[in-house]
Chain A
Amino acid sequence: DAKTTQPPSMDCAEGRAANLPCNHSTISGNEYVYWYRQIHSQGPQYIIHGLKNNETNEMASLIITEDRKSSTLILPHATLRDTAVYYCIVRVAEFGNEKLTFGTGTRLTIIP
């Protein structure tokens, strides 16, 4: 699976959009991009995933560049409950490649 690079920390004002970048310059054509977040002492929470098209769900939007070498997770109206560590993961969805490889992620702090 391709390696990902994320900034270690970010701040965002409450009510504003939080834009979390992820670099995955070695991604291959059959690798999906997944985003999870983890609040302290809880299990990771799935947010969104995509292959090449932009995706949106009730939690967030995922913007993947045309060359697929980077992506951005957008939380449209950040609240204090969005404070967490956010992980960008790249994974080939195939049998035998079951593990999710979490890096160090981005610690997002929402400022009141």
Chain B
Amino acid sequence: DGGITQSPKYLFRKEGQNVTLSCEQNLNHDAMYWYRQDPGQGLRLIYYSQIVNDFQKGDIAEGYSVSREKKESFPLTVTSAQKNPTAFYLCASSPSVGGNQPQHFGDGTRLSIL
């Protein structure tokens, strides 16, 4: 089935450690996105990418990094510079950036600090 796969579902990070969250899609979508969701709050955009080897900062990019080496993959690295990384991270994709087609989401990765 076509869809977006995020892994792992749960992730624990030690202080000062970088961690990478995986996001893979087989929908042949050009655009991919990373959001962060905190308890009881809405989603905040971290980064998005409209095409391979290109990405743009969202509202809260500080302390995060991304890469887009393949169309189907958009991994997110949470660096030690992110002081409050505990959150639910959601990856999404859409056919293209700027269109009215909806974004479709994966099932998320919940990151916690040990």
Residues in A25-54 with C-beta less than 8 Å from chain B? 32, 34, 41-46, 49, 51
> Would A102 and B90 count as touching, CB distance under 8 A?
no
Contacts of B110 in A (CB 8 A): 41
> Would A98 and B100 count as touching, CB distance under 8 A?
no
Contacts of B52 in A (CB 8 A): none
> Would B106 and A98 count as touching, CB distance under 8 A?
no
> Would A44 and B45 count as touching, CB distance under 8 A?
no
Residues in B75-114 with C-beta less than 8 Å from chain A? 88, 90, 92, 97-100, 102-108, 110
Interface size on B, residues (CB 8 A): 29
Identity of the chain B residue whose Cβ is nearest the Cβ of A97 in the assembled complex: B98
Contacts of B102 in A (CB 8 A): 34, 46, 49
Distance from B2 Cβ to chain A, minimum over Cβ atoms (Å): 13
> Given known contacts A43-B108, A96-B98, is B42 in contact with A102 (CB within 8 Å)?
yes
> Would A49 and B108 count as touching, CB distance under 8 A?
no
Q: Does A99 contact B (CB under 8 A)?
A: yes
> Given known contacts A46-B102, A49-B100, A93-B99, is B48 in contact with A98 (CB within 8 Å)?
yes
> Would B42 and A101 count as touching, CB distance under 8 A?
yes
User: How far apart sit A82 and B92, CA to CA, in the bound complex (Å)?
Assistant: 22
Option from B6, B92, B104, B108 in Cβ contact (under 8 Å) with A41 = B108
Contacts of B90 in A (CB 8 A): 43-44
A residues bordering B, Cβ < 8 Å?
A: 32, 34, 41-46, 49, 51, 87, 93-104
User: Could you list 18 A-B pairs, sorted by A, with CB under 8 Å?
Assistant: A41-B108, A41-B110, A43-B106, A45-B105, A46-B103, A49-B100, A49-B102, A93-B99, A93-B100, A98-B45, A98-B56, A99-B44, A99-B45, A99-B48, A99-B58, A99-B59, A100-B35, A100-B45
